[in-house]
Structure 1
Amino acid sequence: HMSRAHFFGVLLRFFSGRPCAATAHARHFQLHWPLNDLVIAVSDATRRFHCRWNLVPASRIETIHNFIDPAALAPVPESARQEVRAEWSVSAEDRLVGIIGNVIPRKGHVYLVRALPRVLAAVPGARLVVVGSEVSPHYAAQVKAAAKQLRVAERIVWAGHRTDIQRVLAALDLCVLASVEESFPLVLLEAMAAGLAVVATTVGGMPECIRPGETGLLVPPANSGALAEAIIALLADPCRCRAFGQAAAALVRQRFSPESQVARIEAALARIARAA
């Protein structure tokens, strides 16, 4: 699952003759990928990248999407929503949008901030919470400067790194992923499993787990106007937003849970073991 493990796996394959399988989470140019007997790609987008750019034969790569175990997610009391909102000085009436992830350029925070003026004009009670470490202080400063320039800084909560993600999700009305580059983020599945509607960009594997108009909405990357329209469409219609969230939770249980994916991993590993 990690680059160093991939290297040693291929090395051991060379010396022992045993088959080697690796999981491709990201999309990087690396020489070892074609040397594996099996590459498991976490999305079709990742599979296509490795076939085209790392020359992995199509017969040796298979898409098995990332998954989570909804049953293993820590349950939260009903009071969590009010408690977390109170911590952030967010009222019960506010419509709270959350973006969760490290504050780095590829996560697209700045495009979400630029969408806020239009969102607030249509939904005055909207608030934004940014959850994640400021891994890139320079980029975080740019995002905050944009918020100040657009006069929306007072509508944004900077929550920093949090480990109680289930409580955070309980406090939200909508989860947004504004990424300009992405693989297959687990936080998207976690938000959906928590019963949240999602707005995400059409990058990486995200279009593969969102059913537009049913579990969420998809928009082009780096497009603040489209992002604003999608957010407004859901915040302004709480019933539709809740219905999307319920459908999203059902979709995760159906397609992105251990019950649906582990058997496929076992079958793929058994196949290369038999061929060895």
Structure 2
Amino acid sequence: MSHDLTKVEVIAPHFKRRLSGVTSTVIQLVPIQNRLGQKVVTFGPGLPSHLPSMGYAALPALWRPPAGRRARVWHARRNIEMLPGIILRDVLRMPLKLVFTSASQRRHTGWTKWLISKMDRVIAVCQKTASYLERESTVILHGIDLERFSPAADKAAAKATVGLDPAFHYVGCFGRVRHQKGTDLFVDSMIRLLPEHPGWKAVVAGRATAKHVGFEDELKAKVKAAGLGDRILFVGEHTNINAWYRALDLFVAPQRWEGFGLTPLEAMATGVPVVAADVGAFAELILDGKTGCMVERGSLDSFAAGIRPYLADPALCERQGAAALVHMRQNFSIEREAAAIGAVYADLLADRPQP
């Protein structure tokens, strides 16, 4: 869906075809940003056609600022999007202001540091990410669509909808099946705990890419050997993952590494408490002991100890799930995230008297 660039104030480049967290962020945010009047278009491949976009033939139009402005914003989220912005602004002298959103939680290379140093503003997705930046940044936590991710009106019916037995409680782990995501920690925790709690079953939802199929096969074999093939369910990848969250009573986020991590937000927005490893932004999302529980990254013993009280007391899941829903609605709507990003844009684009 192409747009008249004289009215466009923000360009969101997307230069990777592969689906990623960045892709998901752009797809969810851009419609909300435009609804809030931020006048954003995307630029690049790998995005759905319903999003407002500009093509390469429109690039010369960037030499002219939008109506009523002296510049546009170029909002990059990867190195390969920062560099073209720098070239357009500093080499071709287009009137652009450069913004970069960082989700990385590791020391940056010299190249990345240089790119970031050329940005007019930097947004960090959480405080931990901000601590790795060697410059001032604005922390804006991700939000999610609280209409799509919302509690089930009838939990038993929600379980039946996705083919689960409503007579059981369910604990789930959703996302790519791989070592980095800690799927093995979840499965090993379930092998340890489920024999003690006959009223519970576990669900692993997500896809193993070709590189990780062997890893998934090993997990399935381990489950079968433990005699739990009917209680630890591998259900594959689903586009209606919000429906699967509604069927859960507890969610586990066992990642060994994560840039931000949206799954705890999705679970809590569905009224489900979360047991999570202390990685990514999880400690900034979960109220430990109130909307879930934080455990030690990579530790099977810590995960088992964190999960056990919930399996022993389903009422604890209900209480903390209700608190999680309130927490999400107060703090983590995608509209709040979009508005905070819009404030960064507005500050950059504001016309100020020349000194």
TM-score > 0.5, shorter chain as reference: yes
SS for the counterpart of 2:176 is coil
Distance 1:210 1:132, change over 3 A: same
What is the distance in 1 between the residues matched to 2:326 and 2:196? 30
Following superposition of structure 1 onto structure 2, how do residues 82-161 of structure 1 map, counting pairs within 5 Å?
A: 82-84=160-162, 87=163, 90-135=164-209, 136-161=212-237
TM-score, normalising length: structure 2: 0.69
1:127-206 equivalence runs, <5 A: 127-135=201-209, 136-206=212-282
Q: Which moved more, 1:23-32 or 1:135-144?
A: 23-32
> What is the deviation of 1:77?
6.4
Specify which of 83, 87, 95 is matched with residue 11 of structure 1. 87
What is the alpha-carbon distance in structure 1 between the residues aligned to residue 242 and residue 283 of structure 2?
Answer: 23
Instruction: Give me the whole-angstrom Cα distance separating, in 2, the residues matched to 1:238 and 1:163.
Output: 28
Q: Specify the code of the residue in structure 2 equivalent to 1:20.
A: L
- Worse overlay, 114-123 or 167-176: 114-123
Counterpart code for 1:99:
C
Q: Pick closer, same or farther for the CA change 1:69–1:63 going to 2, 3 Å.
A: same
Distance, in Å, in 1 between the alignment partners of 2:348 and 2:283 is: 30
After superposition, the C-alpha distances for 1:102-122 in whole angstroms (9 at most, x for unaligned) are 112211011111112331243
CA distance in 1 between counterparts of 2:321 and 2:304 reads 19
Greater helix content: 1
The CA distance in 2 between the partners of 1:242 and 1:93, in whole Å, is 16
Change (3 A) 1:140 1:34: farther
Cross-structure match for 1:41: 124
Q: What is the CA deviation profile of residues 82-116 of structure 1, one whole-angstrom value per residue up to 9, with x for unaligned ones?
A: 222xx2xx432322111010112211011111112
1:73 positional shift: 4.2
Name structure 1 gaps, 5 residues minimum. Answer: none
1:271 corresponding residue in structure 2: 347
Deviation at 1:260, TM superposition (A): 3.4
- Residues of 1 paired with 2:230 and 2:144: CA distance? 35
The structure 2 residue matched to 1:229, chosen from 305, 310, 316, is 305
Aligned partners of 1:117 and 1:259: how far apart in 2?
40
8 Å Cα contact 1:26/1:183 also seen in 2: yes
Give the counterpart of 1:81 among 159, 178, 181: 159
Contact 2:105 2:280 in 1 (8 A): no
2:146 is the alignment partner of 1:63: no
* Structure 2 residue identity aligned to 1:108: G
Q: Is 103-112 or 117-126 further displaced after alignment?
A: 117-126
Between the aligned partners of 2:192 and 2:151, the Cα distance in structure 1 is 35
Regions of 4+ moved over 6 Å = 74-77
- More divergent stretch after superposition (224-233 vs 64-73): 64-73
Deviation at 1:6, TM superposition (A): 2.9
Alignment check: 8 A CA contact 1:75 1:166 kept: no
Q: Supply the AA of the counterpart residue of 2:184.
A: V
Q: Which runs of 5+ in 2 are unaligned?
A: 1-75
Contact kept in structure 2, 1:43 and 1:183, CA below 8 Å: no
